[in-house]
Amino acid sequence: MDWIDILLLLVLFLLTLFVSLGVGRKLQLKEKDVLLLVFYHTFFSVAYFVYIQKYGGDANQYYSQGMNGSFDWWPGSRFVTSFTSIFAYVMHLGKFNIFLIYNLIGLIGLLILTRLVFHFWPKSGGGVQTMRYLVVFMPGLSFWTSAIGKDGPAFLAACLAVYAFTDIKKKNHLFAVAVAIMFVVRPHVAAVLLIAAGLTLVLASRAGIVMRSVILATIVAAFFVSFPFVQEYVGLEDATSWAELVQYIERRASYNQKGNGAVDITQMSFVPKLFTYLFRPLFFDAPGLMGLVVSVENLFLLALFVYTARGIVWQVVNVSHPFVRFSAIYFLLGWVMFAMVTANLGIAIRQKTMILPAFLVLVAMSLSHVIEVRRRRTRLVRPVEHS
């Protein structure tokens, strides 16, 4: 590594700091929290870079193809390769320099998620407040979104979409940006965002019939325009019936069942598939040291799910704000869709970063209700005084 490479690394890291602090100020995050997230997320970018140098990964392929000047902006892997080519082929940046660029993309998503979690987290003191840091500092959220590939942009898009629905009237442009980002890397998930938004707006009781009709028509039109891309991306061009769709799902569920991250889900019933996608590996099926680390994170997610499930249901049923409904619909649609077609745990671990933002903000919102219910029960159950 010569002095030019070192200078470029310094410039890119300073750019990461500058952009992150600017985004943090817009999101009203504390500067110390932003700096902590910058160093934390960048640490995992370095770790990911070291990991693929030893074990290989998709990032190596994107970089190699990018060095050849492959420009084909079709959504999916070809778009990521083309975007990487700008830096590898045109600007002659090294692999780690490009890692830092993708690291910034994922980091912005993490800053948005931090804003959401911190804003909705109950204002109780002590351990409850500390737990919010455990949520945003889950290793998987930073590791998988810090490298060359689709995961960082997809994570940013998911976080931005959820954030937009905190005030969709004023932030509808942010939702459009989120859909656009998701579309160029994973168009089928962009379709899920559009469907979730459409269902949310139809259910919004405060929206007028004219406004709902206009917005819904716009979303439906955007969905149909993007549908041919989605068909080709996921390989559904020839599926013209329900039976062919079922065959496609079964075929996708049989893919990638070899290797350390493989698990056969084809014979599982619906609920075990959902559990496998979101909460496994879980120690007993952990592949290696990384599997054990992921198992700890999954156990934490499972604990959050069990502890707040009733509160999440209460929020969805009783709170009519579009933000709650969009988060719930997007999370459930994504969870079901991915669980039905994903067999490899390694893929599931990476791809679930697209739906975790919606789940984690629902957890943050529901905790207040859960804590209040428990306080009421504590006040009602008083020890009997003996004379």
Mean pLDDT of all residues in 18-43: 97
**Rounded-to-integer distance, Cα 257 and Cα 117, Å:** 35
The lowest-confidence range among 83-92, 216-225, 268-277 is 216-225
Structural domain tally of the chain? 2
Average pLDDT on 42-61 reads: 94
Residue 237 confidence class, pLDDT cut points 50, 70, 90: very low
Tell which wins on pLDDT, 237 or 57. 57
Task: Say what the pLDDT of residue 205 is.
Answer: 58
Does one domain contain both 97 and 182? no
Q: CB of 45 within 8 A of CB of 103?
A: yes
Q: Does a structural domain hold residue 378? A: no
Q: Tell me, yes or no, whether 199 and 301 share the same domain.
A: yes
Q: What is the pLDDT of residue 231?
A: 55
DSSP 33-97: HHHHHHHHHHHHHHHHHHHHHHH--HHHHHHHHHHTT-----TTHHHHHHHHHIIIIIS---HHH
Which one of 70-74, 178-182, 189-193, 365-369 scores highest in mean pLDDT?
A: 178-182
- Residue 11 within a domain: yes
Residues 170 and 266 in one domain: yes
* 83, 176: one domain: no
* Tokens of residue 380, six digits: 């009602």
Q: The domain containing residue 355 runs over which residues?
A: 151-368
Asked if residue 261 and residue 165 are part of one domain, the reply reads yes
196-225 pLDDT tens trace: 988 888 877 565 677 667 766 766 776 666
Q: What's the confidence (pLDDT) of residue 182?
A: 96
Asked if residue 259 and residue 349 are part of one domain, the reply reads: yes
Residue with tokens 């598939």: 273
Q: Domain for residue 381, yes or no?
A: no
Position 385 pLDDT exceeds 70: no
20 and 138, same structural domain? yes
- pLDDT at res. 273: 86
More confident of the two residues 123 and 149: 149
Q: Where is the domain boundary, 94, 125, 149?
A: 149
- 174-183, 199-208, 327-336, 378-387: range with lowest mean pLDDT: 378-387
Give the mean pLDDT of 158-182. 94
Supply the pLDDT for residue 266. Answer: 56
pLDDT at 123: 81
142 with 160, same domain: the answer is no
Is 300 found in the same domain as 183?
yes
The Cβ of residue 160 has, within 10 Å, a number of other Cβ atoms equal to 24
Least confidently predicted of 70-74, 136-140, 251-255, 364-368: 251-255
Q: Model confidence at 41, in pLDDT bands (50, 70, 90)?
A: very high
Which pLDDT belongs to residue 319? 79
Q: Same domain for 331 and 306? A: yes
Q: What pLDDT, on a 0 to 100 scale, did the predictor assign at position 20?
A: 97
172, 130: one domain: no
pLDDT-derived band of residue 226, with 50, 70 and 90 as boundaries? Answer: low
Residue 172 domain-assigned?
yes
Band of residue 289 on the pLDDT scale cut at 50, 70, 90: confident
Are residues 279 and 164 part of one domain? yes
Q: What is the pLDDT of residue 36?
A: 97
Question: Is 12 part of any domain?
Answer: yes
List the single range of 57-66, 120-129, 255-264 with lowest mean pLDDT.
Answer: 255-264
Q: CA-CA distance, 178 to 163, in Å (whole number)?
A: 10
Of 95, 123, 149, at which residue does a domain stop?
149
| 97, 120 contact by CB (below 8 A) | no
Asked whether residue 285 is domain-assigned, the answer is yes
Q: Is residue 136 part of a domain?
A: yes
Is there a domain that residue 180 lies in? yes
With a cut of 60, say whether residue 260 has pLDDT above it.
no
**Dihedral sign for Cα atoms in the order 189, 191, 192, 197:** positive
The answer to whether the CB of 265 falls within 8 A of the CB of 343 is yes
